[in-house]
Amino acid sequence: MAVLDNAARADVKDKFIRRWFVEAAQTANLTTTEIQTLVNDLDVWLDGNEGSANAAITAAVRTKAGATTKFAALAYVALKRGGLL
């Protein structure tokens, strides 16, 4: 899965700000620009570590699940670890 384009990254930033800082009432300790940098950096990191994440999945599941399903599952795990689920 390719790195998100700028519009998609901006959408992620906006949704993260609304969900994390507004709805979850977390301390706003980052500026909007810093949040965009955070999103951009994590997107690049995910792209560079896709193979590692894929290898962490049991082979029988890895061969059946598509890339979108794998990223969606990763997102749910991250949301749970982040306290959003």
**pLDDT band at residue 42 using 50, 70 and 90 as cut-offs:** very high
DSSP string, 16-61: HIIIIIIIS-----S-HHHHHHHHHHHHHHHHHTHHHHHHTS-HHH
Q: Using the predicted structure, report yes or no on whether residue 2 has a pLDDT greater than 80.
A: no
Residue 69 half-sphere exposure, CB side, CA atoms within 13 Å?
7
Q: Using the predicted structure, report yes or no on whether residue 1 has a pLDDT greater than 60.
A: no
pLDDT one-digit tens code per residue, 45-66: 999 999 999 999 999 999 999 9
pLDDT one-digit tens code per residue, 66-75: 999 999 999 9
Q: Using the predicted structure, report yes or no on whether residue 11 has a pLDDT greater than 60.
A: yes
d(CA 85, CA 77): 9
Q: What percent of the chain has pLDDT over 70?
A: 98
The answer to whether the CB of 46 falls within 8 A of the CB of 9 is no
